Structures are given as structure tokens and as C-alpha cells.
Structure 1
């Protein structure tokens, strides 16, 4: 039952936002009583914490599996993009903006974990790109990895990138192209252009 509650809450939160959904909504969707939910979770914030942790672990595991394939760094970034977009497919609101606003402690905690995890992945990706001569040899890996993190985090800010101005499904791709064109060598640019061209077909 606990897992069912978490799964239902996850779907509701991603569709309608962490703030919008109440314990009543979860209970009604599952056709159970709130008492049943409270027998597993002390309050809504406890459910939010578990949901956010599960999403982080699931996405991280998926990225680890992609990294294990040892494809070239540019292709790897686009495969990770596909994975992330798959997980974001049901987001009809701005759940992560609501998380930051209404559950700041949970947001800050997951933000630190995301940064540490992404740093490790992106630094590895950049170093392999340098070894394969796909990225410019004069880039500062630590600087670029942090700018990348800021960019990926920033495009989730609905105040800056509202869905009325930017198509959420295209925004990540726009950022990736912006990021990669600034660091690729001519050799890397050929791979990048090929991927972009194939994605447009």
C-alpha cells in the first residue's frame, strides 16, 4: 500500500504540482481513506520527500546505465536528454518551481545531491570529450561543468522560461546545443550537427 500511495502521489504531483495536490486528492484518487495514508506517512511533506527522493534515484540510475555504455560524450549527453525528457513527459505544471517555493528544505536537500551527482557525471563527460578531441583543449572543466549545472537548473525556472514563451519539450534541446557549440572542436561539431539534423527529421 505504501508503494501505491507513493506512485499515485508521484503522478498527481508531476501533473498538478506539489502545492496543488492535497492528502484528500491522493485518498480520493486511490479510493481509500486519509487514515490509511496517515498510517504510512505522518503528513504530506513526508510523501513529497519520498517522491522527490525516488525520482532522483530513478533518474540517476538511468543516467548511470547510459554512462556504462561508454558512447562518445556528445551522443551520451543527448541520450541523457531523452531519459530526462521521458521522466518529464507528464509534467503539466511547474512542480519543481512549487517544490522550491513551498518545500524549501526538501528542495535544498535534493539540489545538493543533484549538484554533486551532476558534477561527477559532467566532469567525466568533459574529460572524455577532451581525450577524444571533441571538446576544445583550452576549456576549464570545473567552470564549464558548473555553468552546465546552472543552465540545466535555470531552464526549469518558470519565471524566466514560461511555457507561454518557450516550449518545455524543446527548451532542453536548445540549451544543449547552446552548451555544446561553445565547447566543441570541428570534429565534435560534425557529430553535433549530425545529431541535431537527425532529431529534426
Structure 2
């Protein structure tokens, strides 16, 4: 039951916000009494912490899976990013803004853990891209890690990319494209353009 509560809470927090979606809303959504809900999670803060643990388990402990797939690494990353979009059901930066504002310690923990995960992702990404002959050999790995991690964080700063001008997922995919353009050699650029063309054609 606790796992089902956490999954349901994650879905709704990502859709409506960590502050906006209440324990009353969750109990109603799941067809249970508030008493039953609080027996599993004594406070909303406990639930938010459990939701973060679950999200970290899904994303941070499976970094290698993010570059795996049937295609080359660039295509796999785009395909798996789409899966992340579907799993987390997030279409706005407001949920992350609410987490930062109302649960700052939880947000800080998320930032630290995702930074570690992003660093591992960059290492695996570069290794795979080099093996496939798609990335330049002269990449400063430590510099690129810091660059990737910090630019990723800009998405959650609402005054940098206000959603009225920069839709959430459009910005995510634009950042991803630019990250790849820094890495690719001539062969990699051709592969990136092929992947982007296929995505545009599907849309």
C-alpha cells in the first residue's frame, strides 16, 4: 500500500505541485480515509521525502539505462528522455518551484543527488559516444560535467526561462540538443541531425 501511495503522490505532485496537491486530495484520489493515509505517512513532509526517494531510485540508480537502446547513443538518449517525461508526468517547472519554496531541505537533497547522477550520466554518455565514434576526443570531462549540471539547473529557475516564453519540454529538448552539439564530431553531427529530423517529422 505504501508504494502505491508514493506512486500516486509522485504522479499528482508532478502534475499539480507539492504544495497545491494536498493530503486531502491524495486520500480522495485513492479512495481512502485520511486516517489510513496518515497511518502510512504521519505528515506530508514524510510523504514528500518518500516520493523523492522513489524518484531518485528510478532515475539516479539506473543512469546506465538512460543511454541504452536499439539505436546509437544520441537516439537512445532522446528516446529515453521521452520515457522519463511519461513516467514523471511533469509538464511545468512549478512543481519543482513549490518543492524548493515549501520543502527546501528536501529540494537541497534532490539537488545534491541529481548532481551526482548527472555526473555519472555524463561519464557514461561520453564513454558510449567515444566508442561509437560520435564525439570529439578533446572534451574536458570535468569541465563538461560542471557545465552540464549547472545549465540543467537553469531550467528550474523560473526567471531564467519563464514558461510563457520557453515552454517546459521545448526548453528541455533544446538544452539537450545544445549539449550534444558541443560534443559531436562530424559523424556525430550527422547522426544528431538525423535524430532531430525524425523527431520533427513525428511531431
Using the size of structure 1 for normalisation, the TM-score is 0.87
Match of 2:191 in 1: 191
For the structure 1 residues 95 and 53, does the alpha-carbon distance in structure 2 shift closer, same or farther, using more than 3 Å as the test?
same
For the structure 1 residues 139 and 40, does the alpha-carbon distance in structure 2 shift closer, same or farther, using more than 3 Å as the test?
same
For the structure 1 residues 84 and 154, does the alpha-carbon distance in structure 2 shift closer, same or farther, using more than 3 Å as the test?
farther
2 CA distance for matches of 1:120 and 1:70? 21
1 CA distance for matches of 2:183 and 2:8? 42
For the structure 1 residues 147 and 200, does the alpha-carbon distance in structure 2 shift closer, same or farther, using more than 3 Å as the test?
same
For the structure 1 residues 184 and 60, does the alpha-carbon distance in structure 2 shift closer, same or farther, using more than 3 Å as the test?
same
Using the size of structure 2 for normalisation, the TM-score is 0.87
Match of 2:111 in 1: 111
Is 2:119–2:145's contact at 8 Å kept on the other side of the alignment?
Answer: yes
Q: Secondary structure at the match of 1:127?
A: helix
Cα deviation 1:140-161 (Å, max 9, x = unaligned)? 0111122112222221322322
Q: Secondary structure at the match of 2:75?
A: helix
CA RMSD of aligned residues (A): 2.2
Match of 1:180 in 2: 180
After TM superposition, the structure 1 stretch with the greater mean CA deviation from structure 2, 44-53 or 72-81, is 72-81
Count of equivalent residues: 201
For the structure 1 residues 166 and 194, does the alpha-carbon distance in structure 2 shift closer, same or farther, using more than 3 Å as the test?
same
Match of 1:95 in 2: 95
Unaligned runs of 5+ in 2: none
1 CA distance for matches of 2:71 and 2:121? 14
For the structure 1 residues 93 and 179, does the alpha-carbon distance in structure 2 shift closer, same or farther, using more than 3 Å as the test?
closer
Q: How does 1:132-151 map to 2 (within 5 A)?
A: 132-151=132-151
- Residue 200 of structure 1: CA displacement? 0.5
